[in-house]
């Protein structure tokens, strides 16, 4: 009876349709990984092609494609990008960075600790790319003042942005995707991921000290130069800075309460963006220009491509296969997600990976892990793996590439292999910590 029903429901899906959808998906994935064509072009064209082919082969439509787009993720990203875009020109972040360097008394090792904390904290509350785009120039300026090599700082900031981003719902795109799809709240992330991220931070600092402290020593005279800097010099618009702080406070409070308020993340972020634009009252053109539409369209295209794959049943099939392989064991499935996710994300973009895994995990929630606490274990494993894998190589996360790009243009080339040696170690340590954490807390 059951099989008959499935047979009827899937009747209009021909094997040709499955092949076509799978080909479009694999070709898009291959093109994204090869980086020969910009990933956003691939996503837009691949998504459109999936709809066109889907209409001809009766497995997809424009309506279905639009339904596949997770507008909560899109809204959350756009809202936060607007808020950050307005705030970053006020001088707030420069103020915080200089102030912290002075609190550290200009001592390079203490500044490195301060900048690690700031990078991790900002990455947890804002997006990683913005965080590093603010931290890299600040670091280079401070390193010039201290007459030291900025390279250890740049490495550590990459590591801390990926580790810090893991901590919250809004910290890293995989978490936004997971939180939105699984209905997990900001507080759920704070309760389940933030503690282990704090442990990682504490474990990583001695490691960083061992490798880098000697490389960044400098003279008293150079430290004095940092102490002479005036943190207020960077403030461009004190009034807007205050307004930005108020909005950021409202938004972050909103995130902490959003599960309880029954509001989605996008509602909070867009509300904050709207409020800040209203308080600023300037022409919104510049603020909207700051939104990374390239990333937004990448997400949209990706959702549409994966939606097509879902409609032909490939995702459900793959989920079943994976459960077969792990024999339905929660522990094995969680470890595959964690380690598989980390290794995969170290070499390719974690966004398409997580976007593909999400419907698979949802499918497992229908078939195998029907207990929500079991399913959540899978979600946390996926989030930890995908986010922490970003540290493995220079191409593991967008933030890494942004740092490398800015550094190279300023005369500091970060070598792929140089980075990978340290990156894989950091990834291994943090994923190992996650393994212990998942076993102790959930299994």
Partner 1 sequence: MWVKDYMITDYLTAGKDLTILEAVKLMVENKTNSLVVVDENKHPIGTLSSYTLVREVVPAYLKDDPIFSNFGAEGTFDKYAEKMKDHKVDDIMHKDFHTLSVDDAMIEAASYAIKASRRIMPVVDKDGLMVGVVTRTCIKNALYNTLFKDEQIDPENGGNNK
| Positions that interact with partner 1 (CB under 8 A) | 89, 91, 94, 98, 133, 136-138, 140-142, 144-145, 147, 225, 229, 233-234, 236, 406, 409-411
C-alpha 47/C-alpha 189 separation (Å) is 31
The minimum distance between CB 277 and partner 1, in angstroms, equals: 21
Q: For partner 1, which is the closer residue by CB, 384 or 406?
A: 406
The residues, any chain, with a CB within 8 Å of residue 87's CB and separated by 6 or more, are 93, 241, 244, 248, 276
Contact 177/354 with Cβ under 8 angstroms?
yes
The residues, any chain, with a CB within 8 Å of residue 254's CB and separated by 6 or more, are 261, 263, 268, 271, 272
- Shortest CA distance to 326 belongs to which of 337, 341, 313, 310? 337
Q: For partner 1, which is the closer residue by CB, 91 or 254?
A: 91
CA 200 to chain centroid, in Å, comes to 17
Q: For partner 1, which is the closer residue by CB, 147 or 441?
A: 147
C-alpha 265/C-alpha 67 separation (Å) is 18
Q: For partner 1, which is the closer residue by CB, 137 or 274?
A: 137
Q: For partner 1, which is the closer residue by CB, 122 or 186?
A: 122
The minimum distance between CB 226 and partner 1, in angstroms, equals: 9
Q: Return the number of other C-beta atoms located less than 10 Å from residue 93's C-beta.
A: 23
The minimum distance between CB 400 and partner 1, in angstroms, equals: 16
The minimum distance between CB 78 and partner 1, in angstroms, equals: 22
The minimum distance between CB 131 and partner 1, in angstroms, equals: 14
Q: For partner 1, which is the closer residue by CB, 7 or 411?
A: 411
The minimum distance between CB 216 and partner 1, in angstroms, equals: 15
Q: For partner 1, which is the closer residue by CB, 140 or 269?
A: 140
Q: For partner 1, which is the closer residue by CB, 280 or 310?
A: 280
The minimum distance between CB 140 and partner 1, in angstroms, equals: 5
Angle at 186 between CA 180 and CA 189, to 5 degrees: 95
The minimum distance between CB 144 and partner 1, in angstroms, equals: 4
The residues, any chain, with a CB within 8 Å of residue 435's CB and separated by 6 or more, are 335, 338, 339
C-alpha 58/C-alpha 5 separation (Å) is 19
The first and second tokens of residue 279, run together, are 């308080």
Q: For partner 1, which is the closer residue by CB, 229 or 424?
A: 229
The minimum distance between CB 281 and partner 1, in angstroms, equals: 22
């Amino acid at each position: 009876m059951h099989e008959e029903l499935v047979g009827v429901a899937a009747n209009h899906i021909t094997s040709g349709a499955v092949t076509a959808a799978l080909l479009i998906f694999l070709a898009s994935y291959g093109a994204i990984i090869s980086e020969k064509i910009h990933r956003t072009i691939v996503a837009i064209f691949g998504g459109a092609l999936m709809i066109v082919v889907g209409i001809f082969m009766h497995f997809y439509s424009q309506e279905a494609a639009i339904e596949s787009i997770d507008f909560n993720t899109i809204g959350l990203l756009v809202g936060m990008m607007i808020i950050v875009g307005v705030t970053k020109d006020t001088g707030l972040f420069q103020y915080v960075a200089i102030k912290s360097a002075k609190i550290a008394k200009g001592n390079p090792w203490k500044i490195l600790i301060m900048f690690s904390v700031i990078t991790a904290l900002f990455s947890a509350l804002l997006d990683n790319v913005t965080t590093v785009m603010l931290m890299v120039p600040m670091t280079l300026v401070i390193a010039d003042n201290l007459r030291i090599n900025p390279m250890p700082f740049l490495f550590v900031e990459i590591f801390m942005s990926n580790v810090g981003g893991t901590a919250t719902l809004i910290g890293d795109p995989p978490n936004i995707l997971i939180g939105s799809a699984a209905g997990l709240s900001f507080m759920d992330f704070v309760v389940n991921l933030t503690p282990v991220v704090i442990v990682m931070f504490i474990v990583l600092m001695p490691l960083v000290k061992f490798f880098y402290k000697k490389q960044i020593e400098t003279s008293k005279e150079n430290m004095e130069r940092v102490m002479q800097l005036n943190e207020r010099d960077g403030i461009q618009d004190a009034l807007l800075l205050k307004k930005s702080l108020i909005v950021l406070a409202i938004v972050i409070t909103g995130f902490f309460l959003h599960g309880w308020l029954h509001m989605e993340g996008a509602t909070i972020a867009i509300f904050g963006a709207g409020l800040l634009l209203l308080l600023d009252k300037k022409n919104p053109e510049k603020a909207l220009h700051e939104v990374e539409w390239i990333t937004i369209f990448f997400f949209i295209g990706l959702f549409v491509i994966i939606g097509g794959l879902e409609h032909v049943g490939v995702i459900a099939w793959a989920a079943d296969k994976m459960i077969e392989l792990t024999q339905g064991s929660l522990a094995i499935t969680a470890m595959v997600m964690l380690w598989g996710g980390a290794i995969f994300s170290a070499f390719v973009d974690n966004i398409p990976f997580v976007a593909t895994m999400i419907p698979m995990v949802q499918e497992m929630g229908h078939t195998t892990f029907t207990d929500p606490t079991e399913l959540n274990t899978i979600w946390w494993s996926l989030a930890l793996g995908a986010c922490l894998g970003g540290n493995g190589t220079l191409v593991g996360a967008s933030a890494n590439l942004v740092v490398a790009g800015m550094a190279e243009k300023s005369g500091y080339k970060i070598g792929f292999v140089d980075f990978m040696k340290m990156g894989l170690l950091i990834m291994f340590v943090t994923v190992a910590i996650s393994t212990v954490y998942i076993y102790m807390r959930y299994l």
